[in-house]
Structure 1
Amino acid sequence: MSARLPVRPASSRGVPDRPARSRQRMIVSKPPETSIPMRSPPLSPDAARAEELRRRREAESEAALREIDEAYRQDQMAEFGRRYGKPLLAGILLALVALGGFLFWQHRQEQERERGSEALVTALDQVEAGNLAAAEQGLAPVLAEGSDGARALARMLTAGIAAQNGNARRAGEEFAAIADDGSVPAELRQLARIRQVALQFDQLPPQRVVALLADQARPGQPFFGSAGELVGMALLEQGNTQQAGALFGQIARDAAVPESLRSRARQMAGLLGVDTIEDVREVIGQQGAVPQGEAGPAAAAPAAE
Structure 2
Amino acid sequence: MALPPDTNTPASVRDAAQREVFLREVDEAVRQDQLEGFMSRYGKLLLAGIVIALLAFAGWIYWDHRQTKAREEQAEAYVQALDSLQAENLDAAKAKLAPIAAAGGSDANVTSARLLLAGIALRQDRKADALKLFRQVADDGKAPQPLRDLANVRGVAADFDAMKPQDVVDRLKPLAVPGNAWFGVAGELVGMAYLKQNKQDQAGPLFAAIAKDETIEDGLRSRARQLAAVLGVDAVDDVVDEKGEPLGKPAAKAADATDAGE
- TM beyond 0.5: yes
Residue 99, structure 1, aligned to residue 57, structure 2: yes
Match for residue 274 of structure 1?
Answer: 233
Flag as ranges the 4+ runs of structure 1 deviating above 6 A: 55-59
Amino acid at match of 1:155: R
Corresponding residue to 1:227 among 186, 192, 196: 186
Query: Who is 2:24 aligned against?
Result: 66
Within 5 A, what are the aligned runs for 1:221-260?
Answer: 221-260=180-219
Alignment partner, residue 293 of structure 1: none
- Taking structure 2 as the reference length, what is the TM-score of the superposition? 0.77
Which residue is equivalent to 2:115? 156
Aligned pair 1:166/2:125, yes or no?
Answer: yes
Q: Distance in 1 between matches of 2:20 and 2:135?
A: 88
1:206 and 1:234 in contact (8 A); partners too = yes
Name the aligned partner's letter for residue 99 of structure 1: F
Q: Which moved more, 1:229-238 or 1:53-62?
A: 53-62
Aligned partners of 1:107, 1:232: CA distance in 2, in Å? 51
Please give the secondary structure, in 1, of the residue aligned with 2:73.
helix
How many angstroms does 1:212 deviate by?
1.9
Alignment map for 1:115-264 (pairs within 5 Å): 115-145=73-103, 147-149=105-107, 150-264=109-223
Contact 1:113-1:147 at 8 Å conserved across structures: no
The equivalent residue for 1:86 is 44
One-letter code aligned to 2:191 = G
Report if aligned partners of 2:134, 2:152 keep a CA contact under 8 Å in 1.
Answer: yes
| Cα distance, 1:64 vs structure 2 | 3.7
Classify the secondary structure of the residue corresponding to 1:76. helix
Deviations 1:21-75 (A, max 9, x none): xxxxxxxxxxxxxxxxxxxxxxxxxxx9966895877765554443323212211
Change (3 A) 1:238 1:143: same
Would you say the 8 A contact 2:98–2:117 is kept in 1? no
CA gap 1:64/1:230 in 2 versus in 1, 3 angstroms: same
Q: Decide whether aligned partners of structure 1 residues 56 and 193 sit closer, same or farther in structure 2, where only a CA change above 3 A counts.
A: closer
Contact 1:235 1:241 in 2 (8 A): yes
Q: Secondary structure at the match of 1:202?
A: helix
Equivalent position SS for 1:112: helix
Match of 2:67 in 1: 109
User: How many aligned residue pairs are there?
Assistant: 234
Question: What's the offset of the Cα at 1:160?
Answer: 0.5
1:113–1:146 Cα contact (<8 Å) kept: no
Deviation digits for residues 214-254 of structure 1 (CA, Å, limit 9, x no counterpart): 22112232211111100101111111111001111121222
Contact 1:112-1:146 within 8 A present in 2 as well: no
What displacement does 1:170 show? 2.6
Instruction: Report the Cα distance in structure 2 between the residues aligned to 1:208 and 1:70, rounded to whole angstroms.
Output: 83
Segments of structure 2 that go 5 or more residues without pairing to the other structure are 241-262
Q: 1:152–1:53: structure 2 CA closer, same or farther, 3 Å change rule?
A: same
Instruction: Give 1:156 shift.
Output: 0.8
Percent of matched pairs sharing the same residue: 49
Per the TM alignment, residue 205 of structure 1 is displaced from its structure 2 partner at its CA by 1.9
CA distance 1:111–1:272, change in 2 (3 Å)? same
Aligned to 2:255: none
TM-score (norm 1): 0.67
